[in-house]
Structure 1
């Protein structure tokens, strides 16, 4: 059994159609059918129900698919990491969600560059979902995001839980209050969430915050990005719930209030390919923990 057998079978199983799978693999259909048949002969079991329309997997086929996909992911990771190790120059390509840029990410990158001037660091703004794909394709080496992922080929290290705050325009009825705001006080306000796409996103995290409190906002407005949400808040078009680090934007027409609900936190994840143990990433993780210690921020500590 060879890797091509796994790759061809997974394509057929996911497409549920030999013709579409052949197009996806850029091969003709007859050779694809022969390879799948050869795989069944090697295994000694039927993987696809004969004559089924649309195509259906046997119980053995479903079992094989569940184990073949992680194997192919590991092969892809191995290829990307081997290419990385084989490069003479030392580089880190880092993906980040916009909100982390207003927090400690600039401090992290600056201190890392000072400690390791031989490593070239390049930053790429992208959503958490985009980071997952970029990691698997080898376009970035690490991602700073906020959403959980169940992808077995990606390792997520939870760095810390960042408090959420509500952004309001200065004339808002809650802008001049003291103490934290409760979610129940916000359900009747136009709620600006971002980004509109791709989903899932931070928008879903904010909506889940209300759902966990058995609340539902009356009016939700989806916008493309954080900066647009803040501009609309400043114009009095609604409110927005954002990570506390966004206060670093210092918008003169936006004020921030803490949120008192106990689950009003947004995680920050350090994402990397599952098998990657690059010393550059280990060094970056140590820089992150050192900065958190300097600022007295509670955080989780985990090694690669």
Structure 2
């Protein structure tokens, strides 16, 4: 499948008329009809119902239209950003991050980079720490925020803060008398995230229990933080999250402090060793002035 096939499909789906779509695309109608038939054959499902002389989107066609429009819009934005960078109108600065840091230091840094220097195109990519290291080495990103430590001479890692962990539990559940200790937590039904890929924050949580000689009672694994919180709200169990996640207010979830040795989650800033970029230096300095290393 090529990008032009998606554009042909989108034109026909929006017009629901091959002749008008062909005019819009500045091409003849018969080749467009053939391209649409071939596209349906390649995907393996019907995208249109032929009704008399007109067309109607199938459920599969409606889904593809909605999703593909988002993809092509993002592609156009990416291409426009590429043009601006190629014309030296902007400099590219890529940041990789784990989702939980969106409730802490990262939003302020993004505002700083985008607000004070319009000559910077800030790219944001959600990825776990292992993926961040590969992306830094390949040059796809310039700075990363994760929660796992790795030893790699090509990458500099700095702990910029250590967040206490809190237990997210269903709002409807009975309120505990006080903070959870490690033993009490190990007896609770635990929702662990992310399930994959590993190693990840999930392994950090498991290591905290092992350090106390405990084995948590895992009842469910989830791939995303938001999914884990949704399962908590549904009453499946509780999950451990960094304290900054409490800023994500949900009426169906409440957060309980944890008092257990070492039950913290570091925020780790990573970047390429030897990178002397002025933009990177500015970002690092901004983060350091607003966080406290443990």
TM-score normalised by length of structure 1: 0.65
Unaligned runs of 5+ in 2: 1-85
Higher strand share: 2
Higher mean alpha-carbon deviation, 274-283 vs 228-237, is at 274-283
User: What does 1:250-269 correspond to in 2, within 5 Å?
Assistant: 250-269=249-268
1:114 positional shift? 2.4
Q: State the distance in 1 between where 2:249 and 2:187 align.
A: 26
Q: State the distance in 1 between where 2:278 and 2:130 align.
A: 25
Q: State the distance in 1 between where 2:212 and 2:109 align.
A: 34
Q: Which residue is 2:293 aligned to?
A: 299
Q: State the distance in 1 between where 2:133 and 2:195 align.
A: 18
Structure 1 residue matching 2:187: 3-state secondary structure: coil
Q: Which residue is 1:151 aligned to?
A: 152
Residue 171 of structure 2 corresponds to residue 177 of structure 1: no
Q: State the distance in 1 between where 2:217 and 2:244 align.
A: 26
Q: Is the 1:164–1:258 contact (alpha carbons within 8 Å) kept by the matching residues of 2?
A: yes
1:176 positional shift? 5.0
Structure 2 residue matching 1:281: 3-state secondary structure: helix
Aligned length: 208
TM-score normalised by length of structure 2: 0.67
Q: State the distance in 2 between where 1:151 and 1:220 align.
A: 34
Q: State the distance in 2 between where 1:168 and 1:99 align.
A: 17
Q: State the distance in 2 between where 1:159 and 1:87 align.
A: 35
Q: What CA deviation, in whole Å up to 9, does each residue of 1:114-147 have, x standing for no partner?
A: 2323222111111111111111111111111001
Unaligned runs of 5+ in 1: 1-85, 293-297
Q: State the distance in 2 between where 1:262 and 1:151 align.
A: 28
Q: What CA deviation, in whole Å up to 9, does each residue of 1:22-81 have, x standing for no partner?
A: xxxxxxxxxxxxxxxxxxxxxxxxxxxxxxxxxxxxxxxxxxxxxxxxxxxxxxxxxxxx
